Amino acid sequence: MILSADGYPAQTRSVVGVYPITELIITETTTPEQLKGFCFDSPGPTLGFISYTYGMKLRGIASSKPYDFPLGHLKKYKAIVSFENEKLTFSSSHQTLIDTLSEMLGNMSAHSDTQIDYGPTLSRMKKSLDKNGYEDGVRRTLEYIRSGHTYQLNLSTRLSWHCPELNPLALFTTLCREHPAPFYAWLISGQKRILSTSPERFLAVRDGHVLSQPIKGTLRFDVLTPDAHRQLTDSPKESAELSMIVDLVRNDISANCDYGSVHVKNHKSVFAVDNLLQMYADVHGTLRTDKDCLDLFLDAFPGGSITGCPKKSSMEIIERLEPHSRGIYCGSIVIIEDERNMDSSIAIRTATFDMKTHVLDSYAGSGIVVDSDPVREYQETMAKAEKFLALGES
């Protein structure tokens, strides 16, 4: 299930897959050709996720860290329900199923304001990198920057709670209701439940028109004022962060776009989400006729805003500095309709819940550049995690 709230630059349509009929569990041996075969050889859209860890494999970066998720999980469904521009659409070859879904949704609309309690306050949180550990990681990143190994790097920490009474679907609907964002997703993968609340689009392709909307530059606010926008856009540090990543994205998509078609619009635009101002740009291109959207996706994956640049060197340093496996975090939630139509988010502000161990994991990070201050970077990281931190003790 992928939901989208109105009014955001990366707003997309909401899509629900009903009754999965086939699935592809991605492993280390899954090839891009197998991904294409699953997505394109049979009709109907594909929904699911591809993990950051699969992106490491694509880039030739090894990891020995334990990881209990598939590297990705894609599904096709018996029916698709979508909502866009105030219009509800059903797609299925089974008319009786369409009639049943239509009746169910009609009954649900009468109770749409009903809230379900997601459970008690979460237990005490554990961090893979606590305040001192994170700030030390920033200092080590600055050493890598000064020695020329990277010039921007995204460092993250994992936040974990043990919460045996948590209702993860109720938590998802609560977050969706109270913290709207352009890319909400609820996915089921084995015993795992994925709650994604991402503000960031990775790549969209509409009839061959490519759009990426990288976010870099963050300012937390309690009361939004006109000066806040200027404070963010006038910051040399935040501007440098965005410009570096926009340049990386331009290069990442150029190989699969028509020569001369890649261009940037709306550079240093700003939107508000979760009491944060976020700066972004629109990077456009035209998909080459001899390429498909998965060529584009896999050559640009994972998104530059959550690796840093240069990408491979930054990912190698991230692997050394972070004690946790990112897994789905910083991967992507995708809907792939055909060879020239796709939309995808970057799986940040995302949590996973294990139905057997009852552990809820969430993650947060920030982009480090040469003039970063370790204390402020930690504060920015915690600000991005605020809606999950508010669920329990910190």
CA atoms within 13 A on the CB side of 293: 25
Q: How many residues does the chain have?
A: 394
Say what the pLDDT of residue 109 is. Answer: 59
> In this predicted model, what pLDDT tens digit does every residue of 225-260 receive, in sequence order?
889 999 999 999 999 999 999 999 999 999 999 999
Q: Is 122 exposed, middle or buried (0-12, 13-18, 19+ CB in 10 A)?
A: buried
pLDDT at 198: 92
Residue 98 has pLDDT above 90, yes or no: no
Of residues 49, 334, 337, the one with CA closest to residue 193: 49
Mean per-residue pLDDT for 84-97? 84
Which pLDDT tens digit goes with each residue over 341-355?
999 999 999 999 999
219 φ, ψ (degrees, to nearest 5): -140, 120
User: Which carries the bigger pLDDT value, residue 28 or residue 93?
Assistant: 28
Mean pLDDT, rounded, for 131-158: 96
Give the residue among 393, 3, 22, 327 at the shortest CA–CA distance from 169: 3
So what's the pLDDT on residue 113? 61
Q: Which residue has the tokens 């997703």?
A: 185
Q: Look at residue 11 and tell me whether its pLDDT is greater than 90.
A: no
Q: What are phi and psi of 194, to 5 degrees?
A: -115, 125
- Specify the pLDDT at position 211: 97
94, amino acid identity = H
The CA distances from residue 34 to 30, 39, 42, 71, 331, in Å, are: 6, 9, 13, 14, 19
87 DSSP β-pair partners: 84
The verdict on whether omega for the bond into residue 9 sits within 30 degrees of 0, i.e. cis, is no
How many Cβ atoms sit within 10 Å of the Cβ of residue 183?
29
Q: Select from 75, 371, 346, 64 the least CA-distant residue to 238.
A: 371
Model pLDDT, residue 92: 83
pLDDT of residue 86: 80
Q: Amino acid identity, residue 150?
A: T
Task: Please tell me which residue in 76, 192, 200, 377 is annotated as part of the active site.
Answer: 200
Choice between 256 and 120, residue whose per-residue pLDDT is larger: 256
Check whether 275 has a pLDDT greater than 60. Answer: yes
pLDDT band, residue 114 (cuts 50/70/90): low
Summarize pLDDT for 62-86 with one digit per residue, the tens: 998 988 889 999 999 999 998 888 8
Mean predicted lDDT score pLDDT of the chain:
91
Q: Helix 374-384 vs helix 131-146: angle between axes, to the nearest 10 degrees?
A: 120
Nearest Cα residue to 53 out of 332, 334, 284: 332
Q: Which of 224-228, 301-305, 309-313 has the lowest mean pLDDT?
A: 224-228
Q: Which residues of 216-250 are buried (b: 16+ CB within 10 A; e: fewer)?
A: bbbbeeeeeeeebbeebbebeebbbbbbbbbebbb
Mean pLDDT of 257-268: 97
| pLDDT: which is higher, 370 or 91 | 370
* pLDDT above 60: residue 110: no
Please state, in angstroms and rounded to a whole number, the distance separating the CA atoms of residues 394 and 384: 14
**Which conformational region is residue 231 in: left (phi greater than 0), alpha (psi within -120 to 50 degrees), or beta?**
alpha
- With beta carbons less than 8 A apart as the criterion, state whether 346 and 133 touch: no
Residue 340 has pLDDT above 90, yes or no: yes
Asked whether residue 3 carries a pLDDT value surpassing 90, the answer given is no
Nearest to 23 by CA among 1, 4, 42, 2: 42
For position 21, what pLDDT does the model report?
95
The residue type found at 41 is D
Mean pLDDT on 140-146 = 97
Could you give the residue ranges of the DSSP H alpha helices within 110-196?
131-146, 168-178
Q: Say what the pLDDT of residue 394 is.
A: 42
* Of residues 274, 277, 279, the one with CA closest to residue 386: 274
pTM here? Answer: 0.93
Does residue 200 have an active-site annotation? yes
Phi-psi region of 116 (alpha: psi -120 to 50; beta: other; left: phi over 0): beta
Residue 149: its pLDDT value, please?
96
pLDDT digits (tens, 9 = 90+) for 193-228: 999 999 999 999 999 999 999 999 999 898 888 899
Query: What's the pLDDT at 255?
Result: 94
Q: What is the pLDDT of residue 349?
A: 92
Segment (H or E) for 387: helix 386-389
Whether residue 372 contacts residue 151, with contact meaning beta carbons closer than 8 Å, is answered with: no
Place of tokens 């049943």: 100
Residues 105, 179, 18: CA angle, nearest 5 degrees: 30
The token pair that represents 132 in the structure block: 């001192």
Using the 8-state DSSP alphabet, how is residue 393 labeled? -
Residue 122 has pLDDT above 80, yes or no: no
Average pLDDT over residues 77-100: 86
Query: Is the model's pLDDT at 392 over the cut of 70?
Result: no
Catalytic, out of 127, 192, 216, 311: 216
Give 175's contacts (C-beta < 8 A, 6+ positions apart).
184, 195, 197, 387
Catalytic site residue 216?
Answer: yes
